[in-house]
Amino acid sequence: MPYLDAATPESAQFVQEHLNDAPERVLFKYQGKVSFDLKFAVQQIAARQKVAKKLPSWTARPDLLFPASLSLEQSSSEETATFKAKNESGQRMIDLTGGFGVDFYFLATNFAEGIYCEQQAELFALAQHNLSLLSPDKFTFHAGDGLAYLKDCSLPFDLIYADPARRGIGNQKLFKLRDCEPDLVSAWPLLKSKTQRVLLKVSPMLDLARAWAELPDIQQIQVITVKNEVKEVLLRWNSQRSEFQKTVEVVELDGNVPYFQFEPWEEAQAETSYGEVGTYLIEPSAGILKAGAFKLFGTRFGLKKLAQHTHLYSSDTLPVAIPGRLFEVVRELSPRKQDLAEAFPEGKANVICRNYSLGAAELKKKWSLKDGGTDYLIGAQIGLGYKLFWCKRRQ
């Protein structure tokens, strides 16, 4: 492939020598002064810089190559790939949508055989190059449609993995499973007939109720967060589970955020208690909000919700081991310039708005506030009105 042809020992050495340099400056400085494909080398420098934290063990390898930005953007991090591979093992697994190969590599680690499928010729060649260097002679590669390969394959699989493309015409993001490529909803009977377990990585924007509506057989949905940001939503099915029980798990991969699991019926039957702001304000973690456990969060931790559509909670006692951010209320503020100036004399406050009349950016602009410091300004709808609170972060 032309992409691989551009990779030479000279370009690889050049990339290593300029890993900490600005790519655009490297391109300008060395244009017409090197014998190898300079644009390719600069692209490799930019890609390695972009994913240095995301894929540390891969960027530490000078012999590995990296694709264009979109494939890098859609690939998993080592952290999330390692989580997916946890407790996965067996004789044979297949990745129907191999992509850059990060998930495939980590998932296949504990299988005797791993089969990688990818339709994009250049991406396939790149992944085959890298994976063959990382684990020589361990993997089988199929250039083409993964579903077509699976349909014609007579081998049984312990695990089928897929990460369907979530971008349509004009790079439009897709949030319905059926609209993604490949259409795994239509292919679901085929998947079930070929394996014991299915693991799907889907859009973080996917509505969980919609996921179950499209694939009722799914038993477990996992919401994976890193630093309180939803990174992945995983759908799991296991033919060996004796009881069909739908569960949602919220997993924070770093930090000390407590694990949270529930069954959808628990959220449906939970009753919300509403109340005014007390000593503490609590904001559920991003994973809890994504999972939609709005009523159950308050019920489990004995909290009062501020309003139906205001996903902030309050308590007069200090909650322990709670999956969310905890703030101690200093006092309520009036929306007057003098009151805000007295609370934040340096003009700094971390602004949070939840169902407030203004967004955080608008509120900061209106009162000339800048992010920073230890103070928080939290705006929320409570009942029929809007209120502001000066708070300090406690967790």
Q: How many helices (H) and strands (E) does the chain have?
A: 17, 16
Full DSSP string of 95-138: ETT-TTSHHHHHHHTTEEEEEEEES-HHHHHHHHHHHHHHSTTT
User: What is the per-residue pLDDT for 73?
Assistant: 80
pLDDT at residue 170, rounded to an integer: 54
**Verdict on whether the full-model pTM lies above 0.85:** yes
Give the pLDDT of residue 7. 87
Q: Tokens standing for 254?
A: 């770093």
Mean pLDDT, 10 residues at a time, the chain of 395 residues: 79 95 95 93 94 95 88 88 95 96 96 96 94 93 96 96 76 72 94 96 89 94 94 94 84 84 95 93 95 95 93 92 93 89 92 94 92 93 91 91
Q: What is the pLDDT of residue 168?
A: 57
Q: How many CA atoms lie within 13 A of 120 on its CB side?
A: 16
In this predicted structure, what is the pLDDT of residue 68? Answer: 77
| Residue 178 vs residues 150, 161, 200: alpha-carbon distances, Å | 19, 16, 13
- Residue 86, exposed/middle/buried by CB under 10 A (0-12, 13-18, 19+)? exposed
Q: How many residues does the chain have?
A: 395
Specify the pLDDT at position 197: 97
pLDDT recorded at residue 350? 95
Query: What is residue 188's predicted lDDT score, i.e. its pLDDT?
Result: 97
pLDDT score, position 220: 95
Cβ atoms of 101 and 169 closer than 8 Å: no
* C-alpha triplet 105, 110, 114: angle, nearest 5°: 50
CA proximity to 200, closest of 259, 148, 159, 141: 159
Beta strand 229-238 with 220-226: parallel, antiparallel or unpaired?
A: antiparallel
